[in-house]
């Protein structure tokens, strides 16, 4: 697995692969890789002959005073894991490669509406930072396919929307959430949990699973279901931000008759902010 840090060598390698007819699949990450990321790489292998993984801790998606400076940078370990998972190229750009005119002067792209809802309501500017950097990673690598995790459900919906809106010829593939044995979704944020918090953390998935089950059993009172779930999370020791039931395809508010739903939540537990979601299908 080759590592490149700048646009020139990246382009040259990708051009050579394209000349020989291979599809390029991109897995954008911020590093500190866990089993969930490795699953993205495996899925990328199924969709492309060449797999590029980017590691870039993107400053524009962190809140001012947030954990950008302290975000774990574990390049050597990440490199070993990616080699084992079968990535072909690791792209680790410097800030100046991604933002050649500087972060402050950078062109930005924002999907209106949904960027400010759900997690966006609690993290102002976050999704604008995400869509802006993902577009840059796309224009740097020009992938045929890009793979994102379903755990960041709102993120992948926004990226699909941006791709459709800008007519980008990139196929977005969403990988299922990888969970630990007790149901907790893999996340870089889990390492902020103390031992006691780690014991409580799977409760987020359990609460969402309860809501998903109730919906699948025909309970259509979304307001009561989300209110009870918020209460349950607080009882378990979380500081819940939101629990929401939305249309799975685009996160719109469900109308009567919408059958494919997703239940999403964000909750703080100590220093960690955990998010999770479960899709469900309601009866006719
Ligand atoms: O999901 C992430 O790790 C990041 O939001 C992404 C997509 C790599 C953009 O920085």
Residues in CB range of 80: below 8 A, 6 or more apart: none
Provide the β-strand partners of residue 272. 269
Contact 228, 218 (CB under 8 A): no
Residues with CB under 6 A from ligand 1: 28-30, 58, 61, 130, 133-134, 152, 155
Minimum-distance ligand 1 atom for the alpha carbon of 152? 1
Cα separation, 134 vs 99, in Å, equals 12
Residue whose Cα lies nearest atom 1 of ligand 1: it is 29
Between the CA of 240 and the centroid of ligand 1 the distance, in Å, is 23
pLDDT at 66: 79
Residues in CB range of 113: below 8 A, 6 or more apart: none
Catalytic, 126? Answer no
- CA R_g for the chain: 19
Map residue 196 onto helix, strand or coil: helix
Phi, psi (rounded to 5 degrees) for 206? -60, -40
Residues lower than pLDDT 50 in the chain: none
Map residue 263 onto helix, strand or coil: strand
Minimum-distance ligand 1 atom for the alpha carbon of 188? 3
Hey, what are 276's tokens? 């999770």
Between the CA of 152 and the centroid of ligand 1 the distance, in Å, is 9
Angle of CA points 64, 68, 74, to nearest 5°: 180
Residues in the chain: 284
Strand intervals (E) in 183-281: 239-247, 260-269, 272-281
Angle of CA points 274, 132, 263, to nearest 5°: 35
pLDDT at 67: 84
**pTM of the full predicted structure?**
0.97
Minimum-distance ligand 1 atom for the alpha carbon of 149? 1
């Amino acid at each position: 697995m080759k590592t490149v840090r700048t646009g020139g060598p990246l382009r040259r390698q990708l051009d050579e692969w394209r000349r020989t007819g291979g599809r390029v699949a991109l897995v954008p990450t911020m590093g500190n890789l866990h089993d969930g990321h490795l699953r993205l790489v495996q899925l990328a292998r199924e969709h492309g002959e060449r797999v590029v993984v980017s590691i870039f801790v993107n400053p524009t998606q962190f809140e001012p005073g947030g954990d950008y400076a302290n975000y774990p940078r574990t390049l050597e370990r990440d490199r070993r894991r990616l080699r084992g998972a079968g990535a072909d190229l690791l792209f680790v750009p410097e800030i100046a490669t991604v933002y050649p005119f500087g972060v402050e002067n950078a062109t930005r792209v924002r999907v209106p509406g949904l960027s400010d809802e759900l997690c966006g309501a609690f993290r102002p500017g976050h999704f604008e930072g995400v869509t802006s950097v993902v577009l840059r990673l796309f224009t740097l690598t020009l992938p045929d396919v890009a793979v994102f995790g379903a755990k960041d459900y709102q993120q992948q919906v926004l990226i699909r929307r941006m791709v459709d809106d800008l007519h980008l010829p990139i196929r977005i593939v969403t990988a299922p959430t990888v969970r630990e044995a007790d149901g907790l979704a893999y996340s870089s944020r889990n390492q902020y949990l103390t031992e006691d918090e780690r014991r409580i953390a799977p409760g987020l998935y359990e609460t969402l699973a309860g809501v998903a089950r109730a919906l699948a059993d025909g309970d259509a009172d979304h307001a009561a279901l989300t209110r009870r779930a918020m209460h349950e999370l607080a009882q378990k020791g979380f500081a819940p931000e939101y629990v929401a039931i939305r249309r799975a395809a685009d996160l719109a508010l469900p109308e009567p008759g919408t059958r494919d739903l997703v239940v999403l939540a964000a909750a703080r537990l100590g220093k960690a902010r955990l998010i999770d979601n479960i899709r469900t299908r309601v009866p006719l």
